A = this chain, B = another copy of it.
Amino acid sequence: MTAPETPLAPELAVSEWFNTPVPLTLAGLRGRPVFLHSFQLLCPGSVAQALPQVQRIERVFAHTDLQVIGIHTVFEHHAAMSPVTLRAFLHEYRLKSPVGVDKAAEGSDIPVTMQRFGLRGTPSSVLIGRDGTILHEAFGVEDDIAVGARIAMALSAPLARSAAAGGDACADGRCAAPMPPVVEP
């Protein structure tokens, strides 16, 4: 098999989940588009702008198979943003979709999932296609219209479609091949 042209999203590394009865993996969600958003509960931009947008996304796409996942990527003030505080935060802000605590990394303030995706800070978001490839990444909050348009494109793509923007009908055979399992480090 030749190397894929578009990168597969790396797997999540989560030490504790909220709002989901079972742990989630991107591998297990293959076939559905995923809107992954990275936040910190003491990050003003996350709280004032990104999370309200996430809630609008959930509302508009409630009847689709889009999966929204939050990752609490604490890279500063670690003691101040513990899972105890996160639990109360999710309750007060009425966030209902799954949120995972990004797994702490040894020897680094940057947690594992954040490192794997190369996120630059919070808030960030990653739109992942049905085939597991990264369709779009953003640091900061983007225009609602553009976000809605991108998610609609991800939803309308058939499972076997290439993730390339405007890409037409996935004729390269890559998508038909079984996806290689994602190996945890």
Instruction: List residues of chain A with CB under 8 Å of any chain B CB.
Output: 42-44, 47-48, 53, 56-57, 59-61, 76-77, 79-81, 84-85, 87-89, 91-93, 143-153, 156, 163-166, 168-169
**Cα distance A164–B164 when bound, in Å?**
12
Given known contacts A47-B47, A88-B77, A145-B56, is B153 in contact with A164 (CB within 8 Å)? Answer: no
Number of copies: 4
Q: For A43, what are the chain B residues with a Cβ–Cβ distance below 8 Å?
A: 92
Nearest-neighbour CB distance to chain B for A122, whole angstroms, equals 11
**Cα distance A56–B145 when bound, in Å?**
7
**Cα distance A164–B169 when bound, in Å?**
8
**Cα distance A165–B165 when bound, in Å?**
9
